[in-house]
Structure 1
Amino acid sequence: MVSNPTLERAVARARLRLVPFLLLMYVLAFLDRANIGFAKDAFQASAGISAAAYALGAGLFFLTYAAFEVPSNLIMHRVGAKIWMCRIMVTWGLVSAAMMFTQGEMSFYALRLLLGAAEAGFFPGVILYVTYWFPQEKRGQILGLFYFGAPISFILGSPLSGLLLEFHGAWGLEGWQWMFLIEGLLASIVGIWAFWYLDDKPADAKWLPADERKALVAAIATEEKAKESHGHAGLKAAFANPRILHFVVIYFLIQMSVYGVVFYLPTQVAALLGKKVGLEVGLVAAIPWICAMAATYFIPRLADQTGKHRSLAALTLAVSGAGIAVSAGTPPAVALVALCFAAAGFIAVQPMFWTFPTRYLGGVAAAAGIALVNAMGALGGFFAPNVKNWADATFGAPAGLYVLAATTFIGVLAILALGAARQPVAGATPVTARGDR
Structure 2
Amino acid sequence: MPQPSERPAVPHAHAPETRTVKKITWRIVPFIVALYFVSFLNRVNVGFAGLTMNHDIGLTPAMFGFGAGIFFVGYIVFGMPSNLALQRVGARRWIAFLMVVWGALSAGTASVSGPYSFYVLRFLLGLAEAGFFPGIILYLSYWFPARHRALVTAIFMTAAPLSNMIGSPISGAIMGMDGIAQIHGWQWLFILEALPTIALGVIAFFFLTDKPEDARWLDTDEREWLTLEMDRERAARATNAASSVWAATKDPRVLALALVYAGTSTGLYAIGIWAPMIISHFGFSYFELGLVNAIPNVVAVVGMVLWAKNSDRTGERRLHVSIACLAAGAGMLLAGYASSALLLIIGLSVANFGINAAKPPLWSMPTQFLSGSAAAAGIALINAMGSLIGGTIGPMVIGRLREISGDYSLGLYFVSGTLVVSAVISWMFGRRQRESTVTPTVS
Q: Shorter-chain-normalised TM-score: which range?
A: over 0.9
2:411 matched residue in structure 1: 400
Q: Match of 2:3?
A: none
Counting aligned pairs with the same residue, the percent is 36
**CA separation of 1:393/1:170 partners in 2, compared to 1, >3 Å: closer, same or farther?**
closer
CA contact (8 A) 1:165 1:176 kept: yes
288, 293, 301: which one aligns with 1:293: 301
Shift of 1:419: 4.2
1:431 to 414, 421, 437: 437
CA distance in 2, matches of 1:263, 1:348: 19
Q: Deviations over 1:216-245 (max 9, x none)?
A: 011111111122211412222211211111
Does 1:238 pair with 2:248?
A: yes
Tell me how far apart the structure 1 counterparts of residues 20 and 247 of structure 2 sit (CA, whole Å). Answer: 30
Q: 1:315 aligns with which of 320, 323, 326?
A: 323
The one-letter amino acid paired with 2:69 is G
| Separation in structure 1 between the aligned mates of residue 295 and residue 49 of structure 2, nearest angstrom | 19
For residues 54 and 219 of structure 1, the distance between their equivalents in structure 2, rounded to whole angstroms, comes to 48
Distance, in Å, in 2 between the alignment partners of 1:158 and 1:418 is: 36
Q: Corresponding residue for 1:350?
A: 359
> What is residue 145 of structure 1 aligned with on the other side?
155
What is the match of residue 344 of structure 2?
A: 335
In structure 1, stretches of 5+ residues that fail to align are 425-429
Q: Partner residue of 2:107?
A: 97
Q: Give the whole-Å Cα distance in 2 for the aligned partners of 1:370 and 1:385.
A: 23
Partner of 1:377: 386
- Please state whether the residue corresponding to 1:156 is helix, strand or coil: helix
1:73 matched to 2:83: yes
CA distance in structure 2 between the aligned counterparts of 1:224 and 1:382, rounded to whole angstroms: 34
Return the alpha-carbon distance in structure 2 between the equivalents of residues 97 and 394 of structure 1: 33
1:303 maps to which residue? 311
Counterpart in the other structure of 1:62: 72
Residue of structure 2 in register with 1:251 after alignment: 261
Q: 1:87 to 1:353 in 2, by over 3 A?
A: same
User: Deviation digits for residues 87-146 of structure 1, max 9, x if unmatched?
Assistant: 110000000000000100010000000100111100000000000000000000100100
Aligned residue identity for 1:299: W
CA contact (8 A) 1:391 1:403 kept: no
Match of 1:167 among 177, 184, 191: 177
Q: Give the conservation status (yes or no) of the 8 Å contact 1:360–1:423.
A: no
Q: Does residue 416 in structure 1 map to residue 414 in structure 2?
A: no
State the Cα RMSD in Å. Answer: 1.6
* Cα distance, 1:45 vs structure 2: 1.1
Give the structure 1 partner of residue 229 of structure 2: 219
Paired residues of 1:99 and 1:111 also in contact (CA < 8 A):
yes
Partner of 1:181: 191
SS at the partner of 2:281? helix
1:36 and 1:263 in contact (8 A); partners too: yes
Distance 2:162 2:267 in 1: 18
Which letter does structure 2 place at the counterpart of 1:338?
G
Post-superposition offset of 1:433: 5.4
Q: Quick one: which amino acid aligns to residue 224 of structure 2?
A: K
The 3-state SS of whatever aligns with 1:4 is: helix
Shift of 1:24: 0.1
In 2, Cα distance between equivalents of 1:421 and 1:333? 44
Please name the residue that 1:427 is paired with: none
- 1:361 corresponds to which residue? 370
- Number of matched pairs: 427
Does the 8 Å CA contact 2:63/2:115 hold for their aligned counterparts?
Answer: yes
**Are 1:156 and 2:162 an aligned pair?**
no
TM normalised by structure 1 equals 0.95
Are the aligned partners of 1:227 and 1:233 in contact in 2 as well (CA < 8 Å)? no
Whether 1:45 and 2:55 are equivalent positions in the alignment is: yes
Asked if 2 retains the 8 angstrom alpha-carbon contact of 1:19 and 1:145, the reply is yes
